[in-house]
Amino acid sequence: MGVEHDEFEHALAAMKKAKKVELDTGLSADDLKNLVDEYKKIVKKHAKKDFPQDPVDQMWGATNAVFGSWMNDRAIKYRQINEIKNVKGTAVNIQSMVFGNFGDDSGTGVCFSRDPSTGINKFYGEYLMNAQGEDVVAGIRTPEKIATLEKKNKKVYDQLVAIKDRLENHFKDMQDLEFTVQQGELFILQTRSGKRAGAAAVKCAVDMVAEKLITKEEAILRVSPDHLDQLLHPMIDPKAFKTAKALTKGLNASPGAACGRIVFTAKDAEEWNAKGEKVVLVRKDTSPEDIGGMVVSEGILTSTGGMTSHAAVVARGMGTPCVAGAKGVSVQGKKVVIGGTSFKEGDWITIDGSTGNVYGEKLSLIVPSISKDMSLFLSWCDEVRDASVRGDITGFKVRTNADQPEDVKRAFDFGADGVGLCRTEHMFFEKEKLIHFRAMILADNIDERKAALKKILPLQKKDFFGIFKAMNGRPVTIRLLDPPLHEFVPHTKAEIAEVAAHLNVSVKDLQPKIDRLHESNPMLGHRGCRLAVTYPEIYDMQVEAIALAAVDCLKKKIPVHPEIMIPIVCDERELAMIRPNAETIIKNVMTKAKVEIPVRIGTMIEVPRAALLADKIAEYADFFSFGTNDLTQMTFAFSRDDVASFMPSYLEKNILEVDPFKSIDEEGVGMLIDIAVKKGRGMKGDFKVGICGEHGGDPQTIDFCYRAGLSYVSCSPFRVPLARLAGAQAVIRNASAKK
Ligand code: PEP
Ligand code: MG
């Protein structure tokens, strides 16, 4: 009837205060009768009509309220967050009621056939005697552990255990059950596959294969890529424990550690987040209205509620660390006392959702390594991808986009099959390298440029060596320079003065050179291979550094597999010019070192013209890699850097279903990819084709890439495990779709 829930809560709280009782069950029948009268008055006041007294009217009212809830703010927000689209509405299920609040031989609870946080195969759950379901999930009374029910009512407990076993065997998945005991009789209200934390998803999948409940393929489909993402959530750096002491401990409701500034409302969480701040949402409890703030929070801390409270269930589902029901936490307005210490909005705290500990300071976090279960699970994913066959293409690999040896090492540890994109301009973000890079792009003539390049060559060679070493013989695709120049020219007074001093010129003399580099559309400007068309010596230096680094590896008996990639190609004649130059340099280095290391030279396909003319381009390329960031930018004519001002409207108004920079636009950009794959392979049968735009780590795009016949996807190191799984899921899903 559109009356705010809070109105009733206030009336109830006032009644309990007047009667000096803590729990609803402390109220007498007369109190409840009076409360009902109060409720009726509230309805009359706000809804401007009487509460219906005919049960059939009540039922229709309730039914329509459920239908209507589809369009309330929190449901809309939930669908947005979970990208649920094109679903017409909700269903309504009407069933007769049983009462868990019929006295002390009645009760209600929520249970899971396995632990939803860890996946351990142990009956798990909580219940409250003399209570209704809302009391358990709302977290107002702290429920008891399911194991204690065995002592209270062995018959009901045994029955419940038998039913959960039967349901799990039937559905072959971990079940989330709701039950009510009415005067000693057990009723199951509902069962569904339980939402679970990432660790639990992997553990359940691995255990259920061992128990022969499901096949490896079914296990692979059970774990979502988001689950794996969660597993690589940070944890508190063990070194921090030397000095850090927990202020209090709550329930370890959703694993992982989170560190951020305290906020007390969902709205504040969203506002602070919009300002770029990391926040931890601290509340007495949470409700569905808080969903927007929960999503943007690093972690959630509540002072009440159990493992099945709203905060715990939602946080687990989202993979957000959560400590719930922390009794040592007391929230009052925009202040909180944690274990005796006071904090205000904006203060830093760290919570550990794996242990339940709460720390009153900013602690450093580290990313965990892959567990034994996860490693086994991912090895099944690799088997599936490696065995996949599409026409002449066997296997579907996962590479990484990484530019620094330590990132490459991390990706290697996460199971990357190689480097799909090493952006060489990113290697210049470090201060000591940046100065030489700036000197190079500001050079007036070839001699000045060559002088700067000479300084850069050993630095590049060292980085390349580190990357080859970290990949230990797996293919490494190094992309030659593609710097959007505006990212590298000095901007501030201090930067300009520093570069002037380095070049031994005055700021006044330097300024016109900087001005000359200004471009109206830098993303469509003097970048990628266009730089090599004007200044061939830049790519020459890079190719030499790659070849020298490879030779060094060989000398140190480190296996090496270099690949060189040319960016922003739009015409085969660009490659026809650049490729022979590169080949000559490689040959010279190898001849001098008396070794031979094959170096393949390929190109990125990121300009629509290149995709359309891919057959001509393939003549000069040993492989293609789709740079879908630029390909999307240039196909839509949406500037990558400027979409934020209009993309939200496009999504809201359903002109686009998803942001095409996140998930590939199969219809348009996908068509160009299809054309390029066919034309490229038409020229050269066993041509390797991959993707290295940001889309390479997006599960939906990975499915498309598999269907489009790509040989590999490449994504950031942290997304490698997720891509190993998403790739295997694509293989399985598409095989069963064919059947
Ligand atoms: C791309 O365009 O997709 C790509 C990988 O290159 P960059 O993002 O460096 O332009
Ligand atoms: Mg690009």
**Helices assigned H by DSSP within 594-668:** 608-612, 614-618, 628-636, 647-652
Residue nearest to atom 1 of ligand 1 (CA): 627
Q: Looking at 327-341, 374-388, 475-489, 608-622, which range is the least confident one?
A: 475-489
pLDDT band for 646, please (50, 70, 90 cuts): confident
pLDDT in tens, 102-111: 999 999 999 9
Q: How far is CA 37 from each of CA 48, 50, 209, rounded to the nearest angstrom? A: 15, 11, 56
The per-residue DSSP string of 2-42 comes to ---HHHHHHHHHHHHHHTT-SSGGGS-HHHHHHHHHHHHHH
Task: Taking residues 430-448, report their average pLDDT.
Answer: 84
Which residues are CB-neighbours of 711 under 8 A, at least 6 positions away? 393, 395, 396, 397, 688, 689, 690
Query: For a pocket test of ligand 1, which of 482, 566, 701, 713 has the largest count of ligand atoms closer than 8 A to its C-beta?
Result: 482
Ligand 1 contact via 693 beta carbon (within 6 Å): yes
pLDDT band for 417, please (50, 70, 90 cuts): very high
Q: Which DSSP state fits 507?
A: H
pLDDT band for 576, please (50, 70, 90 cuts): very high
- CA-nearest of 247, 253, 249 to 285 is 253
Ligand 1 centroid to residue 722 C-alpha, Å:
21
**Would you say residue 322 has pLDDT above 70?**
yes
- CA-nearest of 140, 689, 11 to 392 is 689
Which ligand sits closest to the CA of 629?
A: 1
Q: How far is CA 517 from each of CA 195, 396, 471, 484, 521, rounded to the nearest angstrom? A: 54, 42, 36, 11, 11
Ligand 1 contact via 629 beta carbon (within 6 Å): yes
Ligand 1 contact via 347 beta carbon (within 6 Å): no
Helix (H) or strand (E) holding 292: helix 291-296
Q: Which DSSP state fits 178?
A: E
**Mean of pLDDT over the chain:** 92
Residue nearest to atom 10 of ligand 1 (CA): 630
Instruction: Exactly one of 692, 695, 705, 715 is catalytic; name it.
Output: 692
Task: Taking residues 441-469, report their average pLDDT.
Answer: 92
Residue 704 structure tokens: 């498309």
pLDDT in tens, 23-42: 888 899 999 999 999 999 99
Which residues in 513-599 belong to E strands, given as ranges? 562-566
Ligand 1 contact via 421 beta carbon (within 6 Å): yes
> Phi and psi of 203, rounded to 5°?
-65, -45
Residue 117 DSSP SS3: coil
Residues 88, 86: Cα–Cα separation, whole Å: 6
CATH T-level assignment (fold) for domain 235-366: Glucose Oxidase; domain 1 (3.50.30)
CA angle 477, 483, 484 (to 5 degrees): 135
CB 551 within 8 A of CB 593: yes
CATH T-level assignment (fold) for domain 107-196: D-amino Acid Aminotransferase; Chain A, domain 1 (3.30.470)
| The pLDDT of residue 308 | 67
| Region of residue 131 (left: phi > 0; alpha: psi -120 to 50; beta: else) | beta
| The pLDDT of residue 173 | 96
Query: At 160, which amino acid appears?
Result: L
Which ligand sits closest to the CA of 690?
A: 1
pLDDT in tens, 355-368: 899 999 999 998 77
Best mean pLDDT range from 202-216, 308-322, 419-433: 202-216
Ligand 1 centroid to residue 628 C-alpha, Å:
7
Ligand 1 contact via 423 beta carbon (within 6 Å): yes
**Would you say residue 737 has pLDDT above 80?**
no
- CA-nearest of 84, 312, 298, 319 to 201 is 319
Task: Taking residues 431-440, report their average pLDDT.
Answer: 82
Q: Looking at 49-53, 162-166, 519-523, which range is the least confident one?
A: 519-523
Name the residue ranges covered by the structural domains of the chain.
1-51, 58-94, 107-196, 235-366, 369-416+625-739
Which ligand sits closest to the CA of 673?
A: 1
Atom of ligand 1 nearest to the CA of 631: 2
- CA-nearest of 426, 427, 452, 454 to 440 is 452
Q: Are strands 235-236 and 144-145 parallel, antiparallel or unpaired?
A: unpaired
- For domain 369-416+625-739, say whether CATH 3.20.20.60 is its number: yes
Ligand 1 contact via 142 beta carbon (within 6 Å): no
Concerning whether 310 is annotated as a catalytic residue, the answer is yes
Instruction: Exactly one of 310, 436, 561, 695 is catalytic; name it.
Output: 310
Residue nearest to atom 9 of ligand 1 (CA): 423
Which ligand sits closest to the CA of 483?
A: 1
Block residue for tokens 């959630």: 300
Ligand 1 contact via 425 beta carbon (within 6 Å): no
pLDDT band for 283, please (50, 70, 90 cuts): very high
Ligand 1 centroid to residue 567 C-alpha, Å:
8
Ligand 1 centroid to residue 693 C-alpha, Å:
5
| The pLDDT of residue 73 | 85
Rg of the chain in Å (alpha carbons):
31
Atom of ligand 1 nearest to the CA of 625: 5
Residues 196, 254: Cα–Cα separation, whole Å: 9
Q: Is the dihedral of CA 702, 601, 669, 653 positive or negative?
A: positive
CB 373 within 8 A of CB 382: no
| The pLDDT of residue 685 | 76
pLDDT in tens, 134-154: 777 766 677 899 999 999 999
Task: Taking residues 68-88, report their average pLDDT.
Answer: 85
Block residue for tokens 């890699």: 625
Residues 516, 512: Cα–Cα separation, whole Å: 6
Residue nearest to atom 6 of ligand 1 (CA): 627
Chain mean position to CA 536: 40
User: With b meaning 16 or more CB within 10 Å and e meaning fewer, what string describes 58-71?
Assistant: eeeeeeeeeeeeee
| The pLDDT of residue 117 | 87
Concerning whether 526 is annotated as a catalytic residue, the answer is no
Residues 116, 7: Cα–Cα separation, whole Å: 34
**Would you say residue 731 has pLDDT above 70?**
yes
Ligand 1 contact via 628 beta carbon (within 6 Å): yes
Ligand 2 centroid to residue 672 C-alpha, Å:
15
Query: For a pocket test of ligand 1, which of 482, 629, 669, 672 has the largest count of ligand atoms closer than 8 A to its C-beta?
Result: 629
Residue 472 structure tokens: 């230990």
